[in-house]
Structure 1
Amino acid sequence: MERTFAHYEILGAIGAGGMGEVWKARDSRLGRLVALKLLPEDACDEDGTLERFRREAQSASRLNHPNICTIYDFLEDDGRFAIVMELLEGENLQDRLARGPLAVDDMLRIAVPVADAIAFAHSQGVLHRDIKPGNIFLSQSGIAKILDFGLAKLTEPNANTLSSIDATVVSPGPDASLTQMGGTVGTVSYMSPEQALGRDLDARSDVFSFGATLYEMATGQRAFDGPTMAAVTDALLHRDPVRASELRSEIPAGLENVIVKSMQKDREDRFEDMHALARALKEADWSEAPKKGAKTEKTSIAVLPFRHMSADADDEYFADGMAEEIINSLAKIGPLRVVSRTSSFAFKGRDEDIREIGSALDVNVVLEGSVRKSGNRVRITSQLINVEDGYHLWSERFDRTMDDIFAVQDEIAESIAKALEIVLTNEEREAIREIPTDSAEAYEYYLRGRFYLWKLNPESFLMADSMFRAALKEDPEFLLALASRVELYSWFYLWLPVEDKRSLQSKAEELARQSQEIAPDRAETRFAFALTHWMKQEHAKALQLFQEAAEIDPGYWEAHFYGARVAMEGGRLDVAAMMFEQAYRIRPDEYQAMCLRSTCLRGEPEEAKVVAEAKKILERHIRLHPDDNRALGFLVTCYAFEGDEEETRALGEELQRRSDVDAGFLYNVACAYIHLGWKEEAFEILFKIVKDGWGNPEWLDSDPDMDPLRDDPRFGGLIDEIKKNRERTG
């Protein structure tokens, strides 16, 4: 490199920008230090390159803003061209993020002035089109500056749209930009969808790119990434990134809402411009971020059973079904913790104060409502109530036909999100709006089936099956009804002493194949096949399919929970503990996942902590459901772990006296007795429940609670007896 360029003395190399080398130089006339960006000599004749270089100078020179790198001059010397700009000392944001995400306070300090600067550029008719961490510089004085307007487009100030120039992205990496003709401009990981598709752009394209940059500042990870440009582009166009708060719990809800709204696929759903985004950043409640190490609590909601107001008592199923479907819809919203049906339905028919309900269920807000059905007409009223003060956050009445029932459910779920100031991602909105069937009659039968299924007894299971059959007669491709039948048959097969188990297995496999033909890539289909493999004791394949279902739908509680049970039966206690934890995160009030996780952690350092948490959940649940024998069986094991012999003995004997206690629940009593060294009594219980038809040799083989019995010859006899029972029933 020559030591001078025009009247600038070259002092040393700094690096490379979007379209040239950058050198540190001294202005011999004014004596100031500058950055000199030179277009490579061999690039000056390439079609369009010089014009883009000139446009960078022209674009940035129009912008006099403290958070935009200042352009001093554009000049030529001996056939080479250069931009003279402000010399900055520090590092760019990309290099800073390589060391990890930013503290929330640092994000605020950087994001707000940069957003203001982009908004200012837009007001001057300049669209950047390449907002990314590599183009935001952090000076040593603490000021953030926007760099590299090489892809900027000049328009009239406040112009609505502009056309992209003809160039194409060649790499998905951090500096991927345009060098070839005939495509789009920008850096693919930060492009807006419309930019990636080569469509006309407006200010909302920079809004999207800035949102992707905010996401990376918050999480330390790119919102859209992959091994190839095609993979990144596919993610950009079709997938939402994991919510920032899922990767980093201290992210404030206000900041997350700004990020989510900025990165909506449809630009009509984003902030209307950068001014609106900057305003949202300034108005967001950043104080919600807890101190380091503290836990962020999600907004929590309980959906109470809707009151049944119809003249026909048989329509009770519809009121219950509406509440259950709204629970399922709300569970698809990441920032919302939704109390399970089991807990919220404990208040069915009970007239209690909202504050007491909120305290019992440990929630911030409660949704209550009523349903009046007459023929094909339905009236639904619903109110969202703040537990702390009883204030109605939202209420609405819907008078519709049954054909509109899904639209009502969608509107209720989206209205709740809006009232709680939660911005939905594209995937969350699509999941809520999904219509499971076009047949109102099929849906009614399906709701009746779920109503009977939840009664949890053999007689109601038969009624549930007949309802699901009727639903499928109306709509043979009703996936939820198919999956419910498979789930029902698996319950018969795994938990009840059924004579012809081979027939159940065959029916379940046929239903799973039907699901495969209808929707091979749906989580429900993988779940159905997983259940059939579990029936055949093919644990590895069942676990794989449960994991695939959970990956497709991370909020699918059943996939995590049953996958964990299969992993536990297969001796994969580490995998089981992880999947039980995921199930617990989805339904924190559902006690089984945490209780079984504690079993997987026997002897581990965190066992005591998990047992204490399980006991806390159990005691809250039992206050609502004092006759839940399964929960009482788990509570016995907690007492035993704590060494409380008196409580263990009292509750264990009480459960053995009850005539309505399922044999499987008494298994937990045996586990508690083993923990306290009461082996004789434990064997007595185990042989009794095996005689009554209970038996799962795979579970016994892998359950750590059974370890103290394994060297006793009676344990082998117990396994043999279970296997004989299995052979008799097929």
Structure 2
Amino acid sequence: MKRCPECCRDYYDDSLLYCLDDGSALLEGPASADESPTAILSGPDSTKNEISGLTTGTGTLLSKSSRPKRYLLVSFLLLVAIGLGGFFAYRYFAPTKQIESIAVMPFVNESGNPDFEYLSDGITESLINSLSQIPGISVKARSSVFTYKGRTVSTQQVAQDLGVQAVLNGRILQRGDQVLMNVEMVDASTGNQIWGDQYTRQSADLLKLQSEIASDVSKKLKARLTGAESQKVARNYTENTEAYHLYLRGRYYWNRRTADDIKKSVDYFQQAIDKDPTYALAYAGLAEAYILMSSYGAASPKESFPKARVAASKAIEMDPSLAEAHNALASVLGSYDWKFAEAEAEWRNTLALNPNYASGRQWYAEHLLFMGRYSEGLEEMKRAQDVDPLSLIINGLVGVAYRMNGQNDQALEQLTKTLELDPNFSRTHLFLAETYQTMGQYEKAMDEFGRAFILEGVPAEKITPALAFVKERYRTEGPKGYSRAMAEIFEPDQGPNEPPKTVVASYWGAAGEFDKAFALLEKGFEEHDDDMLMIKDPRMGALKSDPRYKDLLRRMGLPE
């Protein structure tokens, strides 16, 4: 049994550490050292006086000779009453465990206006980021919870899928200048409401509302926060409501992950900065947007990465505690500057600031794989998966990490599971193709490449003859014919959809055409192409015996 030293509430669950009413640390046994070991079983002093005194105006009702038996009877009844009361209090009012994991589900936009979708999505993401600041609480990442957006799913199903103890639901309605928000926290195992509240504020007070909700939820999670931690949870990064709305729009388009949408996100982040030049979080968002531009063909690395560096550095200068800004700077240092030790230090800093930051864990895991530290990269990618269990890209990259670590069977198993999450995610088919290729199952590899290209929007009339050409070369010339055909198909492609030079070089290398392979790699080195970091991928194996390979590693600063 435990007791709160402040309110004297008794608890019969030994797993509880803090009082569920006032957050005080619970004591074993009596509330103070002055009480006897049995004192915790007794009620307030007034109750003890009534039982032991039982007086009338003229004297005690009990004779001295009858008191011992009477005391025994009263004590027995008291123990029974306390036992029953404790049982019912434990059974119906006390949670079995303190909450250590939560999923913030996508808030529902009840305005009926799709233009306000950015607001409901943005509030959800802001709460996820705020609650991630609470030590000891696992908060599932945005990409996992947003797989449920627009779907009707039970709380218990969410608990099973994400492995959480509680779910936070919300509905938002905007009427003119008024914002109405209903929020509830639900026990994921039973579906019972733990807490709920309704908030009505003016649109101009939206910033304060988000902070208020984050603070209320942290209290209901019974988190023991220091003053500094409480400030981080309830923090507003700007006092300018218009800048905040522009930032939310930027994040909305950044999460859509197309070249056009990323360009839009850059525009909105910049507008937010124009409204509030001290808005560090908007600078961090701008940096992350510039980093994605080269990956999605919206700009070249030479155009985007220097801009990302400026924005990330500005954000860190204003607020060194922003994990997003350190993550962006780490990516610039690693992918563009090739300053790998400095990049790793920044990623470690990122994860120290926010261990629940799934993108930070993912990008750091990719860095470890690029360094040839395959087992470390696999373990870090699994940690990212723990934070974001339904992320398609992270689940797919776990499969890639298995392949790079020489565990092809596990890679196939993982990628098959990822297809079950969404069979139309093109990257999963691409990763499967690479795995089949590594295993020497070339025709299966070609089938998966074909599915990936169709999902990417490549016309079927272009894909079908290409697949037939490669399969025929494989059947007549074997693996070398397959690799040569792949190199011949990919090499002429230029522009936004140009394949990584390292990939094409690996095909030339497998075909025995080392000069063509190193000509491509030299071009990538001169352009400081971020895809050059894939040079340590095991599929480059045919080229690793050539002295030019080690020379490239040396010039890039990569370990052998």
Question: TM class by shorter-chain length?
Answer: 0.5 to 0.7
Specify the alignment match of 1:564 in structure 2.
365
Aligned to 2:200, the other structure's residue is in SS state strand
Question: C-alpha distance in 2, partners of 1:482/1:442?
Answer: 12
Do 2:207 and 2:241's aligned partners in 1 also have CA atoms closer than 8 Å? no
Deviation readout 1:593-619 (Å, 9 max, x if unpaired): 4543554455869x4785377347514
- The Cα of 1:544 is off from its aligned counterpart by 2.3
Specify the alignment match of 1:721 in structure 2.
520
1:653 pairs with 2:450:
yes
- The Cα of 1:398 is off from its aligned counterpart by 0.8
Aligned to 1:713, the other structure's residue is in SS state coil
Aligned to 2:306, the other structure's residue is in SS state helix
- The Cα of 1:562 is off from its aligned counterpart by 1.2
**Structure 1: which 5+ residue stretches go unaligned?**
1-111, 120-202, 205-253, 263-267, 290-296
- The Cα of 1:699 is off from its aligned counterpart by 8.5
Specify the alignment match of 2:104 in structure 1.
303
Match of 1:518 among 318, 330, 351: 318
Do 2:281 and 2:322's aligned partners in 1 also have CA atoms closer than 8 Å? no
Question: C-alpha distance in 1, partners of 2:14/2:416?
Answer: 32
1:573 pairs with 2:385:
no
**Structure 2: which 5+ residue stretches go unaligned?**
7-12, 34-39, 41-86, 472-477, 530-560
Question: C-alpha distance in 2, partners of 1:686/1:367?
Answer: 50
Specify the alignment match of 1:405 in structure 2.
206
Specify the alignment match of 1:21 in structure 2.
none
Specify the alignment match of 1:480 in structure 2.
281
- The Cα of 1:561 is off from its aligned counterpart by 1.7
Identical-residue share of aligned pairs (%): 22
- The Cα of 1:444 is off from its aligned counterpart by 0.6
Q: 1:305–1:519: structure 2 CA closer, same or farther, 3 Å change rule? A: closer
Q: Could you tell me the TM-score, scaled by structure 1's length?
A: 0.52
Do 1:560 and 1:579's aligned partners in 2 also have CA atoms closer than 8 Å? yes
Q: 1:389–1:653: structure 2 CA closer, same or farther, 3 Å change rule? A: same
- The Cα of 1:347 is off from its aligned counterpart by 3.0
Do 1:261 and 1:425's aligned partners in 2 also have CA atoms closer than 8 Å? no
Do 1:615 and 1:638's aligned partners in 2 also have CA atoms closer than 8 Å? no
Q: 1:584–1:354: structure 2 CA closer, same or farther, 3 Å change rule? A: closer
Aligned to 1:370, the other structure's residue is in SS state strand
Specify the alignment match of 2:196 in structure 1.
395
Write the letter of the residue equivalent to 2:359: E
Question: C-alpha distance in 1, partners of 2:232/2:14?
Answer: 23
- The Cα of 1:484 is off from its aligned counterpart by 0.9
Do 1:522 and 1:552's aligned partners in 2 also have CA atoms closer than 8 Å? yes
Question: C-alpha distance in 2, partners of 1:686/1:547?
Answer: 38
Q: 1:615–1:446: structure 2 CA closer, same or farther, 3 Å change rule? A: same
Question: C-alpha distance in 1, partners of 2:224/2:443?
Answer: 51
- The Cα of 1:454 is off from its aligned counterpart by 1.4
Question: C-alpha distance in 2, partners of 1:525/1:516?
Answer: 6
- The Cα of 1:330 is off from its aligned counterpart by 3.3
- The Cα of 1:684 is off from its aligned counterpart by 4.1
Superposition map of 1:281-320 within 5 A: 300-310=101-111, 312-320=113-121
Superposition map of 1:353-392 within 5 A: 354=155, 365-392=166-193
1:631 pairs with 2:428:
yes
Specify the alignment match of 2:330 in structure 1.
530
Q: 1:441–1:308: structure 2 CA closer, same or farther, 3 Å change rule? A: same
Question: C-alpha distance in 2, partners of 1:541/1:348?
Answer: 38
Aligned to 2:332, the other structure's residue is in SS state helix
1:324 pairs with 2:121:
no
Specify the alignment match of 1:504 in structure 2.
304
Q: 1:516–1:349: structure 2 CA closer, same or farther, 3 Å change rule? A: closer
Question: C-alpha distance in 2, partners of 1:646/1:298?
Answer: 49
Q: How many positions carry a matched residue from both structures?
A: 450
Higher mean C-alpha displacement, 388-397 vs 268-277: 268-277
- The Cα of 1:485 is off from its aligned counterpart by 0.7
Write the letter of the residue equivalent to 1:542: A
Q: 1:688–1:441: structure 2 CA closer, same or farther, 3 Å change rule? A: farther
Question: C-alpha distance in 2, partners of 1:373/1:540?
Answer: 48
Do 2:412 and 2:432's aligned partners in 1 also have CA atoms closer than 8 Å? no
Aligned to 2:171, the other structure's residue is in SS state strand
Whichever structure has more helix as a proportion of its residues is: 2
Specify the alignment match of 2:545 in structure 1.
none
Aligned to 1:368, the other structure's residue is in SS state strand
- The Cα of 1:471 is off from its aligned counterpart by 0.8
Cα RMSD between the aligned structures?
Answer: 4.7
Match of 2:247 among 446, 452, 456: 446
Do 1:595 and 1:614's aligned partners in 2 also have CA atoms closer than 8 Å? yes
Specify the alignment match of 2:349 in structure 1.
548
- The Cα of 1:514 is off from its aligned counterpart by 1.6
Question: C-alpha distance in 2, partners of 1:363/1:619?
Answer: 23
- The Cα of 1:448 is off from its aligned counterpart by 0.5
Whichever structure has more strand as a proportion of its residues is: 1
Q: Could you tell me the TM-score, scaled by structure 2's length?
A: 0.65
Question: C-alpha distance in 2, partners of 1:572/1:699?
Answer: 20
Deviation readout 1:208-232 (Å, 9 max, x if unpaired): xxxxxxxxxxxxxxxxxxxxxxxxx
- The Cα of 1:379 is off from its aligned counterpart by 0.9
Question: C-alpha distance in 2, partners of 1:563/1:544?
Answer: 10
Specify the alignment match of 1:270 in structure 2.
24
Q: 1:603–1:382: structure 2 CA closer, same or farther, 3 Å change rule? A: closer
Do 1:325 and 1:409's aligned partners in 2 also have CA atoms closer than 8 Å? yes
Aligned to 2:127, the other structure's residue is in SS state helix
- The Cα of 1:406 is off from its aligned counterpart by 4.2
